[in-house]
């Protein structure tokens, strides 16, 4: 979390420094080539499927689907692009990004008494994105845009490492090739000085499933087959230099200028998307020194978000704004697993688990810098509360296609989890009353105790400690109505 905050702080400081030398934007600043450098934070949900291989599939058909394992990590990015002002406020462009990333998934287990430490690791290493964007200039200096295109990602193999009593060993559990897929995204870019702009984007990348080479060279893939499908979501920010087209035509002042202060209350509604890495932590409750066993399994969740927001801002100077707000999110970030086992197609056993993180509440504050009278760059932070739903197990047995038995139980009881969030974004005034806000948030809910088998075997919680440790990131876009806009001497017409 400290690394994320530092990255937001550095990016915001760069924007503030550059905007200190700001001059009026030319109508042609959006036309032409641009180069950028930046970074961000990403989370992945790796959907894993394992099944029986050709050597045994004729009489045993088994399948395990985990949807999916969660991973997270940072990245640095380089980008180049070309934009063209199509007509009026519409801008189209093409770009290429290359991310140097370290988005890792780690599954760990061990015992202090036996000096045992085991780890399975998979990592998304680098990613190439080639695509286009279409944007709308809601102000001469601010572009809201959507992106889309082709994605290619390199990854590590799935590797295991085992340490016992000071000795260690490891190897490749499964070979993994590179991935191809597509990405969709959206964000906002604002001009902050001579040729410079700052761009913030939330991007979803879906990569196609790739076959796993189980225990390479061993022949194990005759008995076990598998595939892995990563889905990556990134929040990214970059500082860009735009070369323009060499012209210095007058700026487009067709949009009415903002002439009011940012001071006042506001209400808003919006939507977005979120992804979570929810680590299930298991350990013993032994009174003896040293743990008998411990394990950490990172499950991946994702889903959509609708939210309402209310807040109050106060413009403390011509350049700085502070504020407080509260958000209520209607969200369902889901995760599920499945298992099936069939013999000669006569009998089948099915099992599945499902859980979700939902209904987030956040209360916090923000501090912002006015890069332009109508455009606020801000950092946010505060308290977060999220509901972790029950983790339920469903079972079924069928014979000759007919279900003969079924049932279910609660594996882990749900509860509300508390923690904090940090974020950053850009808000642009459309006029004195309406604004559009795009924001990235990272939510850390800490490690909270939950109950294992609460209905069927509650006594097990006296032996086993079970905890959830969720991290969530969201990309959010809202439209806000600001009350009581008052004229301000510090607010100048758009240039």
Q: Is the pLDDT of residue 2 over 70?
A: no
Half-sphere exposure of 28 (CA within 13 A, CB side): 10
Question: Under a CB-based contact definition with an 8 Å cutoff, are residues 449 and 467 in contact?
Answer: yes
Kindly indicate the confidence band of residue 303, based on its pLDDT and cuts at 50, 70 and 90.
very high
Report CA-CA distances (Å) from 270 to 184, 364, 474.
Answer: 18, 17, 12
What is the per-residue pLDDT across 100-158, written as a single tens digit (0 to 9) for each?
A: 999 999 999 998 877 889 999 999 999 999 999 999 988 788 899 999 999 999 999 99
- Tell me the average pLDDT of the chain: 87
Q: Is residue 68 part of a domain?
A: yes
pLDDT at 335 over 90: yes
DSSP secondary structure string, 265-333?
A: EEEEEEEEEEEEEEEEEEEE--SSSS-S-EEEEEEEEEEEEEEEEEEEEEE-SSSEEEEEEEEEEEEEE
Apex 425 CA angle, 384 and 145, nearest 5: 125
| Domain assignment of residue 463, yes or no | yes
Give residue 443's pLDDT band: very low, low, confident or very high (50, 70, 90): very high
In a domain, 23, yes or no: yes
The answer to whether residue 26 sits within a structural domain is: yes
Asked if the structure places residue 447 within a domain, the reply is yes
For residue 36, tell me if it sits in a domain.
yes
Q: Quote the domain boundaries for residue 298.
A: 2-482
Phi, psi angle pair for 290, to nearest 5°: 85, 135
> Which residues are bridge partners to 298 per DSSP?
279
> Average pLDDT, stretch 421-442?
93
User: What single-letter DSSP state applies at residue 12?
Assistant: H
pLDDT tens for 72-87 read 999 999 999 999 998 8
Q: How far is 213 from 260, CA to CA, in rounded Å?
A: 62
Compute the C-alpha angle 142/144/145, nearest 5°.
Answer: 135
Q: List the one residue out of 86, 195, 87, 82 whose CA is nearest residue 131.
A: 82
Average pLDDT of span 33-43: 96
Greatest extent of the chain over all pairs of C-alpha atoms, in Å: 81
Question: Model confidence over 189-211: pLDDT tens digits?
Answer: 998 877 899 999 999 999 999 99
Residue 245: the pLDDT is 65
Whether 494 is in a domain gets the answer: no
* Distance separating alpha carbons of residues 203 and 305, to the nearest angstrom: 15
- Describe the chain by its helix, strand, coil percentages, rounded to 5: 5, 70, 25
For residues 324 and 484, which has the higher predicted lDDT (pLDDT)?
Answer: 324
- Burial label for 487, CB within 10 Å (0-12, 13-18, 19+), is exposed
pLDDT digits (tens, 9 = 90+) for 364-414: 999 999 988 888 999 999 999 999 999 999 999 888 777 778 889 999 999
Residues 6 or more apart whose CB falls under 8 angstroms from that of 402 comprise none
The token pair that represents 3 in the structure block: 């690394």
| Chain Cα centroid distance, residue 300 | 11
Domains: count for the chain: 1
CA angle 138, 143, 145 (to 5 degrees): 110
Tell me whether residue 493 is in a domain. Answer: no
Residue 217 Ramachandran class (φ > 0 left, ψ -120 to 50 alpha, else beta): left
- Token output for 64: 């395990």
459 three-state secondary structure: helix
The pLDDT value recorded for residue 485 is 64
Is the per-residue pLDDT at 4 higher than 70? no
Q: Is the pLDDT of residue 26 over 60?
A: no
pLDDT at 371: 84
Distance in angstroms (rounded) separating the CA atoms of residues 78 and 99: 7
Residue 124 to residue 230: CA distance in whole angstroms: 9
As a whole number of Å, the end-to-end CA separation of the chain is 38
């Amino acid at each position: 979390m400290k690394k994320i905050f530092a990255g937001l702080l550095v990016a915001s400081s760069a924007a503030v420094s550059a905007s200190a030398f700001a001059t009026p934007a030319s109508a042609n600043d959006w036309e032409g080539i641009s180069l950028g450098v930046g970074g961000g934070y990403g989370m992945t949900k790796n959907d894993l499927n394992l099944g029986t291989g050709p050597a045994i599939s004729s009489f045993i058909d088994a399948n395990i689907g985990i949807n999916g394992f969660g991973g997270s990590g940072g990245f640095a990015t380089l980008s180049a692009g070309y934009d063209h002002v199509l007509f009026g406020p519409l801008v189209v462009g093409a770009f290429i990004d290359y991310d140097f990333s370290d988005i890792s998934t780690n599954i760990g287990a061990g015992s202090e008494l036996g000096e045992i430490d085991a780890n399975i690791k998979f990592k998304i290493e680098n990613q190439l994105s080639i695509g286009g964007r279409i944007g709308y200039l809601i102000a001469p200096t601010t572009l809201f845009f959507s992106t889309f295109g082709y994605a290619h990602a390199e990854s590590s193999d799935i590797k295991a490492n085992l340490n016992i009593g000071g000795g260690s060993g490891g190897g490749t559990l499964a070979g993994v090739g590179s991935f191809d897929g597509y990405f969709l995204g959206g964000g906002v870019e604002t001009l902050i000085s001579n040729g410079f702009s700052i761009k913030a984007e939330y991007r979803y990348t879906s990569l196609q499933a790739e076959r796993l080479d189980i225990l390479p060279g061993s022949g194990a893939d005759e008995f076990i087959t598998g595939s892995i499908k990563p889905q990556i979501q990134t929040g990214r920010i970059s500082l860009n230099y735009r070369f323009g087209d060499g012209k210095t035509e007058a700026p487009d002042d067709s949009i009415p200028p903002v002439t009011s202060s940012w001071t006042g209350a506001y209400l808003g509604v919006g939507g977005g998307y979120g992804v979570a890495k929810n680590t299930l932590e298991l350990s013993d409750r032994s009174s003896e020194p040293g743990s008998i066993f411990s394990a950490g399994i990172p499950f991946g969740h994702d889903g959509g978000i609708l939210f309402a927001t209310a807040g109050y801002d106060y413009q403390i100077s011509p350049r700085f704004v502070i504020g407080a707000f509260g958000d209520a999110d209607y969200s369902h970030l889901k995760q599920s697993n499945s298992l099936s086992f069939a013999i000669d197609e006569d009998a089948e056993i099915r099992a599945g688990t499902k859980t979700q993180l939902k209904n987030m509440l956040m209360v916090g504050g923000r501090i912002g810098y006015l890069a332009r009278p109508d455009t606020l760059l801000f950092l946010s932070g505060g308290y977060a509360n999220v509901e972790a739903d029950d983790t339920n197990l469903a079972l079924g047995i069928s014979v000759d296609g007919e279900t003969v038995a079924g049932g279910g139980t609660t594996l882990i009881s749900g509860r509300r989890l508390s923690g904090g969030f940090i974020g950053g974004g850009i808000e642009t005034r459309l006029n004195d009353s309406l604004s559009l806000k795009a924001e990235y948030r990272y939510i850390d809910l800490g490690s909270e105790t939950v109950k294992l088998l609460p209905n069927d075997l509650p006594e097990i919680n006296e032996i086993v400690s079970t905890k959830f440790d969720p991290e969530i990131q969201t990309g959010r876009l809202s439209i806000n109505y600001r009350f009581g806009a008052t004229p301000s001497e510090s607010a100048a017409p758009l240039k």
